Amino acid sequence: MAEITASAVKSLREKTGAGMVDCKNALIEANGDEAAAVEILRKKGMATAGKKAGRVTAEGVVGSYIHMGGKVGVMVEVNCESDFVARGDEFQNLVKDVAMHIAASDPKYVTREEVPASVLDKEREILMEQLKNDPKNAGKPEDVLNKIIEGRLNKYYEEAVLLDQPFVKDPSKTIGELVTEKIASIKENITIRRFTRYKMGEGIEKKQDDFAAEVASMVG
């Protein structure tokens, strides 16, 4: 029997929206084959999120969150399939949670696909230099180092990509997994389209007073 890892269960859960135990049992039954496990869950009516992933989300709401006495503010657009769902408490609470999370975690992108290639290239360049400067990696071929780098890029995604970030209210799941759970619960496709995060004074160069020079000018 193939070993069923936690990452395999997590991956299946993200694709299907099924519960952790159901995903593990499906993988056991499928002997570790993810595609076969998805089929097992679909036959049992548990793979709800996967079936809805391609459906158009043209409704939804723009939600907001203000934090720290007005020092940080967020606007986020979350889409669903119907206005009825958009007005429901469960969807509205999801939007509030996502906006609050963005205020706290400051992601730069919604999905991995939005990260510019130039940014990833710079990250790879930095990681490669770090690996080459580590004596433990002496003599390792470049293709091995590249594989290590691709693995470490996951850490960057967790920091910069909204859907990859651990949810601040429950770090055992990512924002992507939270959305998948809501798709399974609400029974409509849900997507986070875009967001804007404002921080008071961000980008403004504050004047630095030279106290010593001020005193000298008064005395002189």
Residue 139 shares a structural domain with residue 67: yes
Residue 77 lies in a domain: yes
Count of domains for the chain: 2
pLDDT at 213 over 70: no
* pLDDT per position as a tens digit, 113-122: 999 999 999 9
- Rounded to 5°, the CA angle 163-78-99 comes to 65
> Phi and psi at residue 218, in whole multiples of 5°?
-70, -40
Tell me the pLDDT of the chain averaged across its residues. Answer: 86
Lowest mean pLDDT among 11-15, 126-130, 182-186: 11-15
Q: Which helix (H) or strand (E) holds 156?
A: helix 142-160
Residue 218 lies in a domain: no
pLDDT reading at 80 higher than 90 = yes
> Which has the minimum average pLDDT: 15-24, 43-52, 57-66, 130-139?
43-52
Domain that holds residue 110: 59-199
| pLDDT at 108 > cutoff 90 | yes
Report d(CA 179, CA 215) in Å as an integer.
58
Compute, in degrees rounded to 10, the torsion defined by CA atoms 130, 136, 141, 145. Answer: -40
